[in-house]
Structures are given as structure tokens and as C-alpha cells.
Amino acid sequence: MKPLQPDTLICNPNGPPIVASVVINCEALRVWEMVGQFSSFDAFIPALASVEMIGTGVGALRTKTFRDGNCVVEQLNSRDDHAMHMTWTMIYNTLGVARLWAGIRVQAHGVQCAKVSWTIIAEPVDKTQVGFEAFVQDFADSALVNVRKLLGGA
């Protein structure tokens, strides 16, 4: 009998990166304080009912529960407060997403201005699904527009 070997169901997705970005009339560190909190995405995504955390720092898990009842569990892969970026991977969801990797970065764009970029690579469970990339793009765009409204006006 062959010995058991390490295996995993967590795989990086394949596909084109979907990038949402906005420039905000706000200091970069203040923007990072909002979008860089892995445990607090409900602060700028109104569709989220709650975010629950298990652990802290790299390796921590968050469970996002949406107002419509859907659920997503993600693991924090990397985080750098000095460089103002972090990445995470989806490990479970009820949204019909097979795999998802995401990263968010804040960059100073002058003294009192910042650019925030959210990159997502995702695969739908149903490869024939029409409009999946547009849905993901719209979700990320609307979240970042909301960050701009909350921190830097229209």
C-alpha cells in the first residue's frame, strides 16, 4: 500500500486579472487604514452583513457573510503595512466561484492623494457562465468608488 502524500484543494486560479482602481483625494495611509484591514471590508462594501475572523496576521481566515445570505471564507496570504499591500485566497464560497486570488495596493499619488488598486483573478465553477468577469469587475469597481465617497468625496 502506497503511503498517503500531501495534497490540497487550494489552487491558484487561471484567467485574466480583473483590476479596479480609483484615485482618492486623501492621504495614502488613511486609505490603507480602511482598505488594508482584512477584518473590516464591511466598512466599504455595503453588501456585507458581517466579517468574522479566526486568527490574526498572515494565515488568518475571514468569513464574509453577505446580506443575501451568501458566504465566503478567505485566507490572508501576505500583508505589508509599509508597502501598503496585501493578498488573499478564497478557500470556500457559496457564490459559484471555483477559485479566486486577490490583492489590494495603495500608492501615494501626490501629498494628499492616493491610488488604490484591487486585482482579482477568479474562475467560475460553470466555465460557460456568461457575465462572470463583468460581475467581478462591477463588484470591485463599486467597492472602490464607495471608498472614494467615504474618504475623498465624489
- Please state which CATH class domain 18-152 belongs to: alpha beta
pLDDT at 2 over 80: yes
Q: Where are the domains of the chain?
A: 18-152
Q: How far apart are CA 154 and CA 146, in angstroms?
A: 9
Q: Give me the pLDDT at residue 153, please.
A: 61
Q: What is the pLDDT of residues 29-62, one digit of tens each?
A: 999 999 999 999 999 999 999 999 999 999 999 9
Q: Show the cell assigned to 58.
A: 498572515
Question: Which residue has cell 475572523?
Answer: 53
Q: How far apart are CA 136 and CA 127, in angstroms?
A: 14
Predicted model pTM:
0.92
Q: What is the pLDDT of residues 84-120, one digit of tens each?
A: 999 999 999 999 999 999 999 999 988 899 999 999 9
Q: Give me the pLDDT at residue 152, please.
A: 76
* Cβ-proximal residues to 36 (8 Å cutoff; 6+ apart), any chain: 79, 81, 84, 86, 104, 106
Sign of CA dihedral 141, 142, 143, 144: positive
